């Protein structure tokens, strides 16, 4: 046997020993370290990762898969920032391809859902230089006047940082104003990759990682829960993905204010990073699984089905995912413009329920805070 063959056998056996140690830790409900997270990315094969992630997923969420009935409002795609991965935003001075909804159009859209059992409106968009904190606070108040029952999940930390800076208020003051006007929680966008070097390469002019984390921490302290995302599969390394999740895990230890973690796969259509190939479905599934294993203090892992498509969303339910977002009603353009699987994302509740049942899981319609609205194991699905 040559020296290099025996060295690689030794290496392989030490890696398999480490993978065995990680498996033991997971089955004993112990937290894995940064280095172990990286090792999972480097050496964990799909079946092994799926087994571990499914163990964690079933311990936390049994056989349930959550979804909600929601729609999106994207008030504008005009944005002062220039994220290299963004296919959706346009500068104010650009004439083509921009949209700006008027206040009346936004309120009409909300009214169009009157009588429909929608529980959440998700409001995000470009960072428009002329739409400020008080404009949005009053908008939310009017939305709540129309639909007092609806949960308003609005504004990424990127939008909030800009609004607070322009209005010359602290994050706490800004968030308090929005909360008093009816905002209930924050979506998870704008996190991208926290590592400062990568952030500079892909979105250098928007809020920093520390600002993103501070805004979410402040929201949690004010009683506004939030989500967290990661944008993966571009120029980042496995270390950067684990570093990102580690910063979230530390904040969650402190506040317990995150509801769910949403891995977002980089899509490469018509943006400044279009030369970067997209990662495979196998890598998507590995990434969901490692997120589930690493983020031991997050209740839920969400697969955003309009982006990865309904087939991969179904598969992800065996790799740590317990939430597939909502009905959406064809109300978002962020992903369709970036080349997502679903070009007109809308699923009826019945279709979502069927999709989950086909994966042999129990569909649960939830509200934004994961209170159960309907447990479909107790409902005749022909209804
Ligand atoms: O921050 C932009 C991402 C995010 C691309 O909280 C892209 O429930 C892939 O955060 N390829 C905004 N991703 C959307 C978001 C979100 C979505 C669904 C649910 C929730 C939630 C939050 O979209 C941005 C950015 O990371 N994004 N361009 C692209 N080319
Ligand atoms: Fe603007 Fe958001 Fe697009 Fe960045 S990702 S350019 S902040 S709309």
Of the listed ligands, the closest to the CA of 124 is 1
Ligand 1 atom nearest the C-alpha of 88 is: 28
Task: Identify whether the C-beta of residue 53 lies closer than 8 Å to the C-beta of residue 292.
Answer: yes
Atom 2 of ligand 2, nearest CA residue: 126
Burial label, 97 (beta-carbon count in 10 A; 0-12, 13-18, 19+): exposed
Q: Looking at residues 208-212, what average pLDDT do you find? A: 98
Tens digit of each residue's pLDDT (9 = 90 or more) over 16-59: 899 999 999 999 999 999 999 999 999 999 999 999 999 999 99
- Helix axes of 46-61 and 281-294: crossing angle, nearest 10 degrees: 50
| Per-residue pLDDT, 12 | 76
The total number of structural domains that make up the chain? 1
User: Facing residues of 300 across strands?
Assistant: 260
Percentage of the chain exceeding pLDDT 90: 80
Of ligand 1's atoms, which has the minimum distance to the CA of residue 307? 9
Alpha helices in the chain (DSSP H): 3-27, 34-43, 46-61, 103-111, 133-146, 157-167, 171-180, 196-203, 209-221, 238-255, 281-294, 305-308, 310-316, 349-358
pLDDT of res. 330: 55
Helix (H) or strand (E) segment spanning residue 70:
strand 70-73
Pairing of strands 120-123, 323-326: unpaired
pLDDT at residue 369, rounded to an integer? 96
The pLDDT score that the predictor gives to residue 171 is 98
Closest CA to 155 of 131, 108, 199, 189: 189
Residue 221 half-sphere exposure, CB side, CA atoms within 13 Å? Answer: 13
d(CA 86, ligand 2 centre) in Å: 6
* Global model pTM greater than 0.85: yes
- In this prediction, residue 335 carries a pLDDT of 59
The reply to whether 331 falls in a domain is yes
Give the position, in ligand 2's atom list, of the atom nearest the Cα of 80: 1
Look at the chain and count its residues.
383
**Nearest Cα to Cα of residue 183 among 152, 139, 157:** 152
Asked if the model's pLDDT at residue 381 lies above 60, the reply is: no
Can you give the pLDDT at residue 4? Answer: 73
pLDDT digits (tens, 9 = 90+) for 213-228: 999 999 999 999 999 9
* 35 within some domain: no
89 CB near ligand 1 (under 6 Å): no
Give the mean pLDDT of the chain: 92
- Please work out whether the CB of residue 120 comes within 6 Å of at least one atom of ligand 1: no
More confident call, 2 vs 280: 280
CA of 176 to the centre of ligand 1 (A): 25
Greater pLDDT, 146 or 93 = 146
CB neighbours of residue 237 within 10 Å: 13
- d(C-alpha 47, C-alpha 139), whole Å: 48
- Asked if residue 306 lies in contact with residue 342, where contact means CB atoms within 8 angstroms, the answer is yes
**Which ranges of 44-181 does DSSP label H, i.e. alpha helix?**
46-61, 103-111, 133-146, 157-167, 171-180
**DSSP for residue 204:** T
Tell me how far the alpha carbon of residue 330 lies from the centroid of ligand 1, in angstroms. 16
Average pLDDT over residues 177-188: 98
Nearest bound ligand to CA 261? 1
Q: What is the CATH number of the domain that holds 215?
A: 3.20.20.70
Residue 341 maps to a domain: yes
Q: Provide mean pLDDT across the span 90-100.
A: 78
- Ligand 1 centroid to Cα of residue 190, in Å, is 7
Per the structure, the complete domain to which residue 352 belongs is given by 57-375
In a domain, 128, yes or no: yes
Q: Does residue 51 sit within a domain?
A: no
Summarised one tens digit per residue, pLDDT across range 318-365 is 999 999 988 866 555 555 666 666 666 677 788 889 999 999 999 999
Task: Encode pLDDT of 166-182 as tens digits.
Answer: 999 999 999 999 999 99
Cβ distance 131 to 76 under 8 Å? yes
Whether residue 110 lies inside any domain: the answer is yes
Ligand nearest to the CA of 185: 1
* Distance from C-alpha of 47 to C-alpha of 56, rounded to nearest angstrom: 14
- Which ligand places an atom closest to the C-alpha of 278? 1
What would the mean pLDDT of 101-118 be, rounded to a whole number?
94
Is residue 66's pLDDT more than 80?
yes
Q: What is the pLDDT of residue 383?
A: 47
User: How far are the Cα atoms of 31, 240, 245 from residue 41, in angstroms, in the given order?
Assistant: 16, 11, 13
Report the alpha-carbon angle 79-83-87, nearest 5.
75
pLDDT tens, residue by residue, 274-307: 999 999 999 999 999 999 999 999 999 999 988 8
- Residue 276: inside a domain: yes
User: For ligand 2, what atom is nearest to the CA of residue 82?
Assistant: 6
Q: Kindly state whether residue 15 falls inside one of the protein's structural domains.
A: no
Picking from 110-114, 290-294, 310-314, 379-383, which range would have the lowest pLDDT averaged per residue? 379-383
Give residue 379 CA to ligand 1 midpoint distance, Å. Answer: 33
**Cβ of residue 88 lying under 6 Å from some atom of ligand 2:** yes
- Contact assessment for residue 26 and residue 50, using Cβ atoms and an 8 Å cutoff: no
């Amino acid at each position: 046997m040559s020296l290099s063959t025996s060295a690689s056998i030794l290496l392989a056996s030490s890696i398999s020993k480490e993978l065995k140690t990680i498996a033991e830790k997971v089955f004993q409900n112990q937290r894995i370290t940064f280095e172990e997270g990286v090792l999972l990315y480097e050496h964990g094969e799909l079946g092994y990762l799926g087994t571990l992630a499914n163990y964690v997923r079933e311990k936390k969420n049994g056989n349930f898969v959550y979804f909600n009935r929601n729609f999106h409002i994207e008030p504008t795609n005009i944005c002062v920032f220039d994220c290299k991965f963004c296919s959706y935003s346009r500068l104010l001075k650009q004439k083509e391809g921009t949209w700006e909804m008027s206040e009346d159009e936004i309120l009409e859209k909300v009214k169009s859902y009157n009588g429909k059992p929608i529980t959440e409106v998700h409001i995000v968009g470009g960072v428009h230089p002329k739409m400020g904190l008080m404009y949005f606070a009053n908008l939310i108040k009017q939305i709540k006047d129309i639909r007092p029952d609806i949960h308003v999940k609005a504004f990424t930390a990127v939008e909030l940082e800009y609004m607070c800076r322009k209005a010359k208020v602290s994050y706490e003051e800004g968030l308090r104003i929005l909360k008093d006007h009816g905002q209930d929680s924050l979506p998870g966008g704008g996190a991208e990759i926290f590592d400062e070097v990568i952030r500079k390469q892909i979105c250098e002019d928007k809020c920093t990682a520390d600002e993103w984390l501070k805004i979410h921490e402040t929201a949690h302290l004010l009683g506004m829960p939030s989500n967290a995302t990661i944008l993966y599969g571009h120029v980042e390394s496995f270390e950067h993905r684990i570093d990102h999740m580690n910063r979230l895990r530390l904040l969650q230890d402190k506040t317990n204010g995150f509801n769910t973690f949403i891995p977002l796969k980089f899509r490469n259509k018509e943006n400044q990073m279009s030369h970067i190939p997209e990662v495979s479905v196998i890598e998507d599934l590995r990434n969901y699984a490692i997120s589930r294993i690493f983020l031991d203090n997050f209740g839920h892992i969400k697969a955003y089905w309009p982006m990865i498509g309904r087939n991969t969303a179904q598969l992800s339910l065996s790799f740590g995912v317990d939430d597939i977002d909502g009905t959406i009603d064809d109300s978002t353009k962020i992903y369709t413009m970036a080349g997502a699987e679903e070009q007109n994302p809308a699923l009826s509740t019945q279709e979502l329920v069927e999709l989950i049942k086909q994966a042999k899981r129990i569909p649960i319609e939830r509200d934004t805070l994961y209170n159960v609205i309907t447990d479909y194991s107790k409902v005749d699905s022909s209804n």
